[in-house]
Structure 1
Amino acid sequence: MSDREDFLVWVESEFVRAERAMFDGDDGPRRAIWARTEPVSVLGAWRNAASRAELVEAFEVLASSFSDCTDYSFDLISFDVAGDMAYTVGYERVSASIDGEPRTITLRATQVYRREADGWRVVHRHADTVG
């Protein structure tokens, strides 16, 4: 399997599972796919973070806002792998409750990944709402 194919399998499995869990109120899987070493950063639709500690805090706060995820899909627009770095660009389509109110949202998400000893890890995320 090529590096691109291997990365795409990871995105379509571990990444998608972690994001769906986040929108269902469980930030554990998302924290697990993020790099544990600096630098890491988030420029998010709701929260920003510029260190691992800020990242964990932001994910905990976000997870407490989300529940009852009934649908999550990641529509991948573009991706590439260059050595131990990769990126994705796509749309996350989510149906979940936000602060107890059922909503459907679409996020534009760009992420950067680093291949570490134990596999691919997210190191940067930028997301914003569409519309």
Structure 2
Amino acid sequence: MTQPFESFLRRFEEANTAFVNGDASLWLSLVSRSEQTSIFGGFGGHEIGWTQIGPRYEWAASQFSPSGATVEFEYLDKHAGADTAYSVAIERCTVKYLDRSEAVPHLLRATMVFRREDGDWKIAHRHADHLVPTTPPPAS
């Protein structure tokens, strides 16, 4: 049976909220195990293939302390085709990082690519970085 994309997005949103509370388990269940999977994560760097991505996601989730944070999603665009889908969103929440005592805003702009594998949607690529104000190029 094929999983509808909107249903998958609800699971993804739940997994994202668990992630920013230090739990990567739901997230990892949604990620493709393919070596043609990639991440340009919110903490910088890049990883290619499941053997790099799995440990990276576990590490990234471990940088958050459980805080009851809930991620709010502002989808700017999303589309699902037969075997591929994407979303472009702003992800907003207030989190507690492992090395800080105070909660801080966590605002990401995130572009996701998903692909259908064995009837289920999986994360194939994530590019997330901090949302910063628009700034003009420096004067010459």
- TM-score with structure 2 setting the length: 0.84
Q: Tell me what 1:80 maps to.
A: 79
1:117 is aligned to 118
Specify which structure has the higher proportion of helix.
1
How many pairs does the alignment contain? Answer: 127
Deviation at 1:80, TM superposition (A): 0.9
Unaligned runs of 5+ in 2: 133-140
Q: Which of 1 and 2 has greater Rg?
A: 2
Report what 2:104 is aligned to.
103
User: Aligned equivalents of 1:38 and 1:124: distance in 2?
Assistant: 11
Q: Pairwise mapping of residues 1-131 of structure 1 onto structure 2 (< 5 A)?
A: 6-11=4-9, 13-47=10-44, 48-67=46-65, 68-101=67-100, 102-131=103-132
Shift of the alpha carbon at 1:118? 4.4
The alignment-based identity, stated in percent, is 29
Q: Is the 8 A contact 1:69 1:94 kept in 2?
A: no
The one-character-per-residue Cα deviations of 1:78-99 (angstroms, maximum 9, x if unpaired) are 0111210000000110211012
Q: Write the letter of the residue equivalent to 1:58.
A: R
Does the CA-based 8 Å contact 1:72-1:92 persist in structure 2?
A: yes
More divergent stretch after superposition (107-116 vs 55-64): 55-64
RMSD: 1.7
Q: Which amino acid aligns with 2:30?
A: I
For the residue of structure 2 that corresponds to 1:29, the secondary structure is helix
Helix, strand or coil at the partner of 1:38? coil
- Extract structure 1 runs of 4+ deviating beyond 6 A: none
